[in-house]
């Protein structure tokens, strides 16, 4: 491999690793209703959501008893009418992680009769990702609509002890592992 091709490959790998690291470390995981509540009929979700700034790349975690509740993503009309008749997505594991991949407002209700009317409804306004140091933005390129995104159900999400703390550990370890693997791969060329 020519020296110029190697140099170009090194630069490309470094840029890709920097973008991955910046994007992964900037995401926040929010446990809905935490720290004082959860996905239940007692939590004021309008108040809870107003205390946070949700950005593209963040995640929501809904925790609840699947025998008593579910989570249904709906349109604004479904949200306003408390209707789960035409769901965008339905979650029912009791430990559901929902990625907030794109800018816009997402609407969630409990589909159990009477629960939405009792206040189990959440509207989340998702803003563009924050600019990274140096002025570059980590805003993702246009994403498919929320209906096209597969739900992430029942996994073991990395969750903070409070509703607004940064997720850490696993993502950063995976990014480090990926960068290390890329560096090892480059060493083969030298």
CB 146 within 8 A of CB 102: yes
- Count of other CB atoms within 10 angstroms of residue 177: 10
pLDDT band of 123, cuts 50, 70, 90: very high
Q: State the angle between helix axes of 170-189 and 3-26 in degrees (0 to 180), rounded to the nearest 10.
A: 180
Summarize the confidence of residues 133-140 as an average pLDDT. 46
Ordered by start, the domain boundaries in the chain are: 1-27+167-190, 28-164
Q: What is the mean pLDDT of residues 169-182?
A: 43
- pLDDT beyond 70 at 46: yes
Asked if the model's pLDDT at residue 8 lies above 90, the reply is no
pLDDT tens digit string along 63-84?
999 999 999 999 999 999 999 9
Q: What pLDDT digit, counting tens, does each position of 82-105 carry?
A: 999 999 999 999 999 999 999 999
Asked if 58 contacts 29 with a C-beta cutoff of 8 angstroms, the reply is yes
Q: What is the dihedral of CA 152, 155, 161, 165, to 10 degrees?
A: -40
Backbone angles phi, psi at 59, to 5 degrees: -135, 145
What gap in Å lies between CA 190 and CA 185, rounded to an integer? 10
Closest CA to 56 of 20, 106, 91: 106
Rounded Cα–Cα distance for residues 30 and 163 (Å): 5
Total residue length of the chain: 190
Residue 4, pLDDT score: 53
More confident residue, 167 or 81: 81
Which is higher by pLDDT, 134 or 91? Answer: 91
What's the pLDDT score for residue 169? Answer: 38
Res 98: pLDDT? 97
CATH class for the region spanning 28-164: mainly beta
Is the model's pLDDT at 190 over the cut of 80?
no
pTM for this structure? 0.60
What is the rounded CA–CA span in Å between residue 54 and residue 126? 5
Q: Which residues contact 163 (CB under 8 A, 6 or more apart)?
A: 30, 31, 32, 33, 34, 35, 48, 51, 52
Looking at residue 99, its pLDDT comes to 97
Task: Tell me what pLDDT residue 132 has.
Answer: 58
pLDDT at residue 140 tops 70: no
pLDDT at position 129: 87
pLDDT higher than threshold 80 for residue 136:
no
Handedness of CA 77, 83, 89, 94 (dihedral sign): positive
């Amino acid at each position: 491999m020519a020296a110029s091709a190697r140099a170009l490959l090194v630069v490309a790998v470094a840029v890709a690793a920097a973008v991955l690291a910046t994007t992964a470390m900037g995401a926040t995981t929010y446990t809905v209703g935490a720290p004082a509540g959860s996905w239940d009929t007692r939590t004021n979700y309008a108040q809870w959501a107003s205390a946070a700034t949700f950005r593209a790349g963040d995640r929501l975690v809904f925790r609840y008893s699947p025998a008593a509740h579910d989570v249904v993503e709906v349109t604004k009309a479904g949200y306003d009418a408390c209707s789960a008749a035409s769901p965008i997505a339905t979650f029912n594991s009791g430990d559901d992680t929902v990625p907030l991949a794109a800018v816009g407002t997402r609407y969630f209700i409990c589909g159990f009769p009477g629960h939405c009317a009792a206040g189990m409804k959440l509207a989340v306004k998702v803003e563009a990702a924050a600019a990274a140091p140096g002025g570059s933005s980590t805003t993702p390129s246009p994403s498919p609509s929320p209906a096209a995104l597969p739900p992430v159900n029942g996994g073991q999400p990395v969750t903070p002890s409070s509703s607004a703390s940064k997720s850490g550990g696993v993502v950063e370890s995976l990014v480090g592992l990926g960068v290390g693997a890329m560096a090892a791969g480059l060493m083969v060329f030298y």
